[in-house]
Amino acid sequence: MKVGFIGVGNMGAGMAGRLLEGGCAVQACDLVPGKVQALVRQGARAAATPVHAAAGAHALIVCVVDARQSAEVLFGERGAAAALAPGSAVLLCPTIAPQDAQQLASRLAEHDLDPIEAPMSGGPARAREGSMSLMVACADAVFERHRWLLERLASRLFRVGTRWGDGARTKLVNNLLAAINLAGAAEAIALAERLGLDAARTLEVIEQSSGQSWIGSDRMRRAIAGDYAPRAHVTLLQKDTGLALDAARAAGFAGLLGPLAHEAFNRAAAAGDAELDDAALLRLFRQP
């Protein structure tokens, strides 16, 4: 089977590598040539534009940053949608607003394509090994037609509904909680240090106690070691918490912790850490 990828950053590259290992032909397109070449060395074919990534593909996986980029790579001047055969699957993996997911899926359906909302979670390593989560929203028939691809990509496959936009809604709820947990973990470790405790030893206690969270453990372990190499930039959770708060306002919901987490990521970005790994949130709470 031939699968096109548009966007082969940390998550896209992991998924593409997974499919290559399973015998799929992969056509990779990205604005950064080095990312494509890394996959070419694994057996992928370089695609100069989105339309080249889609040519002859049975499925297309879109792993760009936001809704604007998604619309451009699908329906722009060199957009991929026009090059796909009817019935081809298009996986929409970015974290975007529900209304944007609905609009993109509707336009894909007008092209006789099979839109599948598939926001992802778990990080690059899990994407590569196929153990990440996909939050899937699509018609039941579409899911069954393309189950082979979804199951190859993710062992944690969640059917969140058939309504377009429900994948985005689920991902925003998840990412808002992830941001709250990460901000709380960073604050707690910074407090431990201020109290004269050993940060690594304190994290070990937390990991076996009631304060444990996956994202807190994953990010604070890196932060304590001074490792801020970007796996997920600060700007991603800054964006996602903003989208989650927009969705909350549209639903008439006013939370307490979400706005505080969003403000923490805003402050970290303003402090110059926008392009660092979101583990860098610890640096914000270490400030006097």
Calculate the CA dihedral of residues 6, 157, 1, 75 and round it to 10 degrees: -30
**Among all residues, which ones are annotated catalytic?**
171
CA dist., res. 224 & res. 282, Å (int): 8
Per residue in 21-31, pLDDT (tens digit) is: 999 999 999 99
Residue 39 pLDDT: 97
Strands (E), the chain: 2-6, 25-29, 45-46, 59-62, 89-92, 114-117, 120-121, 133-137, 156-161
Tokens of 130: 């196929």
Domains of the chain in start order, with CATH, are 2-163 (3.40.50.720), 169-286 (1.10.1040.10)
Give CA–CA dist 267/246, Å, rounded: 19
Specify burial of residue 226 (Cβ count, 10 A radius: 0-12, 13-18, 19+): exposed
pLDDT of 122 reads 87
Q: What pTM was estimated for this model as a whole?
A: 0.92
Residue 64, pLDDT score: 96
Q: DSSP letters along 104-164, please?
A: HHHHHHHTT-EEEE--EES-HHHHHHT--EEEEES-HHHHHHTHHHHHHH-SEEEEEESST
pLDDT < 70 regions, the chain: none
Q: What is the pLDDT of residues 38-93, one digit of tens each?
A: 999 999 999 999 999 999 999 999 999 999 999 999 999 999 999 999 999 999 99
